Structure 1
């Protein structure tokens, strides 16, 4: 069972924008460029990097995707903060 994960994310207010970002990523757009342009989270300035974090450290819907979702594939998650496009880099 994974205890830590590392992920990138882009936080936006509207689902439509999050879905558009995923389409751009699937066409080869760079995650860090889109994070710097669109993310409302301070991590956007760092290309969306959240670094490594422990299970249970993030809000539950975000945490669930990070510890069960497919690696590298962009995921769409809604939390109390807005819509997240999450790219899980690895789990340990």
Structure 2
């Protein structure tokens, strides 16, 4: 079972906007460019890069998506107390 992961994310307040962004990503849009444009998280300035983190460091639904979802494919929308996330897991180990 993986204990660490690295991911990018885009945080928005509205599920409709998250769904629209996810559709753009599935059509080939650049994740980091969309994160810089839309993310309300300070990580948006870095293209949504959250760096490496441990299991349990993030909100439970975010953590579950990162550690159980697919690698390198956009996941979401994922709801947390902060808003709606689109997540791209870079690696787990």
Which runs of at least 4 in structure 1 moved beyond 6 Å after TM superposition? none
Q: CA RMSD of the aligned region, Å?
A: 0.5
Paired residues in the alignment total: 92
Q: Which residue of 2 aligns with 1:39?
A: 39
Structure 1, unaligned stretches of length 5 or more?
Answer: none
Deviations 1:12-56 (A, max 9, x none): 000011001011111111001000000000000000000110000
Structure 2, unaligned stretches of length 5 or more?
Answer: none
Q: Which residue of 2 aligns with 1:22?
A: 22
TM-score normalised to structure 1 length: 0.98
User: d(CA) in 2 for partners of 1:23 and 1:72?
Assistant: 15
User: d(CA) in 2 for partners of 1:26 and 1:59?
Assistant: 25
Secondary structure of 1:86 counterpart: strand
User: d(CA) in 1 for partners of 2:13 and 2:52?
Assistant: 24
Shift of residue 75 of structure 1?
Answer: 1.1
Q: Which residue of 2 aligns with 1:89?
A: 90
Shift of residue 72 of structure 1?
Answer: 1.1
Secondary structure of 1:66 counterpart: helix
